[in-house]
Structure 1
Amino acid sequence: MSNFTPKERLLKVLHKEKTDRPPIICPGGMMNAAIVDVMNRGGHVLPIAHSDDKLMAELAVDVFTNTGFENLGIPFCMTVEPEVLGSDVDYGSMKCEPKITQEVFSSSSAVDFHEFAVMLQTGRVNTVMQATYNVARRFPDIPVIGNLTGPVSTAASIVDPMIFLKDLRRNQLAAHKVMEYVSDFLIAYAALMIDNGADVISIADPTATGEILGPRMFCEYPLVYINKIVEAIHSQGVPVIVHICGNINAVKHALPELKADAISTDAMVNLRKLKEEFPKLITMGNVSTYLLEMATPEKVVNNTRHLLREGIDIIAPACGLSTSTPLDNIKAMSGAVKEK
């Protein structure tokens, strides 16, 4: 029987210390497990839980209780930050995640810069903080993961994304000002999460991929600004997980420069080879979300055991889960880790 609590196990892995086995987690945010099966079983449902702190906390507990994942993850979307920064959001439905319906600015040059002290008291910030505080106090042995939308994705959610991606190349001065502004906001937002009990911060930045930006732009923007955010979070004594979507080949050389404590990757990435190439990296992932949605529990177990044999440090879904993912498949995944 293990002597580690789930919080101790995850923190030890993130600090590069030995444990009995890998943690099995699903951070929340872009990578959340508030699937329909969990909501039906617990009775705490989206979209109302996006804006009700008690329901948000209860849904996080439902995910933890029903899936076997060893963390509590808050919130359940990537729209909290851009909404606070002025963009319009559709909260979606039980089956459909929230989305940006209208970015607040037409270009990087048009962005208005506001004081964060006031902004951090608007939107759903207080909802997230109250829910974080609630679950952290109720479950002291379970790691609470606070989720940030990464700086490039947040910027592309307040500025028309097609224009913003062009600005990264054609209007660098304005684009860097927006990235500085967004990063400083995310640092302040993360500090509030930590003050309210978050043990780990997870950053998902799906727009910041090598496939979209290419290696030069990746190093000029996401690498710089994610590291700025990570360093600020580290200064508060809290570890950071960074998720990178898609094929990482174009930016793989830059991964050791990321100052995150663990790197989470998509399913097409061979994590064993990545560990061989960069032995100091703490790897997280990467059970295919397509497999989790469409395959049998037996195939999920086989894939999970394969990752365990290859020495992956933290087992997790490879990206955002479909809301139609069967709970039995998630339990098969978490069960395969815990049988180790």
Structure 2
Amino acid sequence: MSGYNAKERFIRSLEGKKVDKVPVCSVTQTGVVELMELTGSKWPQAHYDPGMMASLAIAGHEIAGLEAVRFPFCTTVIAETLGCTFDEGSIDTQPYQLDFPCKTKEDAENLSLPSNLAECRRIKIMLQAAEIIKNTISDDIPLIAGMIGPAAIAFYLSGAKNYLRWCITEPELLKHLMKLGTEVCIEYSNMLFEKGVDAVVIIDSEAGPDILPPPLFTELVLPEYHLLTAAMKGHSILHICGDATDILESMAESGFEGLSVEERTDLSYAKSVVGERACLIGNVSPAATLLSRSRDQIKKEAKQCIDDGAGILAPGCGIAPRTPVENIKAFVSARDEYYEEK
């Protein structure tokens, strides 16, 4: 059971197999300002230039020590491809939405998907970045790509007010948008797998109880997850922000191999619900802990996550841009210390 490299350890963990020690990485965004300064690959340009995206993503592994390379650093790729518009953000703020295409029921009913997804600007950038990363890093390091999921796509397309209203008044319309999202996620994820990506993280926080009532998660979202995971030709992870406690059982039955939860979800309780049906990922707080606490406190919380049942030790959400690299290194070293102390 010893001698696994980082990729073997990561994949075995997702598959529920025994490992010598849990992997330590981030399945959410890793671009921090200090790494941007060291590499010269800075936001917002690194969101849109494949070479800069690759350089900054690789730095999370080569400089900060995370046992995976994860890209991109925003959640806007699919949404922009489907007609949303964004401000590109700054060196320490992510792109944010300015407008959305589905302002009316008719807009949503008439929305069509691009005929050639691979040639769409943002998708093409991602595929090029995947190729650059694969040609640069060792094959021993897992490559993780992130994208928004069906509920998040529906949220971006319809806007917050319509999304919240339609989930009650027009659930079939929302389901229609989610189905379009599922189609895009399947096609896009499989293109990434063809480029050598090892795992795709579906970020779908708009499906969580903080926004969508759990009965609607079961009715609207869970069937899309079953279709999505059945069609994805590689390893799959679901990430939901907020307190996911009320949907943990459904998440465990969704077909995703990994379930990434943030710190508002009690990891030990999640483990008692999920059991061995999926690999729990998380859930050190990126803001309250990684960004602002001492390295000793970071290590203490990270070790507690392993004790609580984390199959992959990771931040509970995207790493804050102003997080010091030394704090990320302390997070990584906590995993090693945990096993040395055993």
TM-score band, normalised by shorter chain: over 0.9
- Amino acid aligned to 1:274: A
Structural mapping, 1:167-178, within 5 Å: 167-178=166-177
- Counterpart residue type for residue 220 of structure 1: E
Measured after TM superposition, the shift of residue 66 of structure 1 is 1.6
After superposition, give the CA deviation of every residue in 1:104-143 in whole Å (9 maximum; x if it has no partner).
2203431233344324312211110011111123221111
Alpha-carbon distance, 1:220 to partner: 1.4
Equivalents in 2 of 1:105, 1:113: separation in Å? 8
* 1:1-340 map, 5 Å: 3-27=3-27, 31-111=28-108, 112-139=110-137, 140-233=139-232, 236=233, 238-280=234-276, 281-289=278-286, 290-339=288-337, 340=339
Which residue type is aligned with residue 313 of structure 1?
G
Which letter does structure 1 place at the counterpart of 2:250?
Answer: A
**Partner deviation per Cα, 1:234-285 (whole Å, 9 max, x = no partner):** xx2x111111211123223323222110111110222122212332231110
Preserved contact between residue 214 and residue 251 of structure 1 (Cα < 8 Å): no
> Would the aligned equivalents of 1:108 and 1:178 in 2 still touch at CA under 8 Å?
no
In 2, are the aligned partners of 1:47 and 1:92 still within 8 Å (CA)? yes
State how many pairs are aligned: 334
- 8 Å CA contact 2:22–2:312 kept in 1: the answer is yes
Give SS of 1:100's match: strand
Q: Whole-Å Cα distance in 1 between the matches of residues 176 and 106 of structure 2? A: 9
Distance 1:295 1:26, change over 3 A: same
Secondary structure of the residue aligned to 1:329 is helix
TM-score by length of 1: 0.94
Q: Distance in 1 between matches of 2:111 and 2:26?
A: 34
State the SS of the aligned residue for 1:63. Answer: helix
Contact between 1:108 and 1:167, CA under 8 Å: does it hold in 2?
no
Q: For the Cα contact (< 8 Å) 2:82–2:113, is it kept in 1?
A: no
1:82 Cα deviation after fit: 0.6
Which 5+ residue runs of structure 2 have no aligned equivalent?
Answer: none
Instruction: Call closer, same or farther: CA 1:124–1:210 in 2, change over 3 Å.
Output: same
Structure 1 residue runs without a partner (length 5+) = none
1:108–1:164 contact (8 Å) kept in structure 2: no
CA displacement 1:20-64 (0-9 Å, x = unmatched): 10001112xxx2110111111222111111111111111111111
Q: 8 Å contact 2:117–2:188 — kept in the other structure?
A: no
Q: Which secondary structure state, in structure 1, belongs to the residue aligned with residue 128 of structure 2?
A: helix
Secondary structure of the structure 2 residue equivalent to 1:33: coil
Change (3 A) 1:196 1:108: farther
> Partners in 1 of 2:236 and 2:117 — Cα distance?
24
- The aligned amino acid for 1:257 is E
Q: Percent of counterpart pairs with the same letter?
A: 26
- The letter of the residue matching 1:107 is T
- Distance in 2, matches of 1:326 and 1:126, equals 31
User: Aligned equivalents of 2:21 and 2:203: distance in 1?
Assistant: 25
* 6-15 vs 165-174, which moves further: 165-174
Normalised to the residue count of structure 2, the TM-score between the two structures is: 0.93
Partner-residue secondary structure (3-state), 1:124: helix
Find the aligned partners of 1:258 and 1:215 in 2 and give their Cα distance: 14
The answer on whether the counterparts of 2:41 and 2:55 sit within 8 Å (CA) in structure 1 is yes
CA distance in 2, matches of 1:309, 1:256: 20
Q: Using the alignment, how far apart are the partners of 2:266 and 2:111 within structure 1?
A: 41
* C-alpha RMSD of the superposition: 1.6
Deviates more, 1:269-278 or 1:280-289: 269-278
Amino acid at match of 1:32: Q
Deviation at residue 159 of structure 1 after TM alignment = 1.4
Indicate the larger mover: 219-228 or 55-64.
Answer: 219-228
- Shift of the alpha carbon at 1:75? 1.2
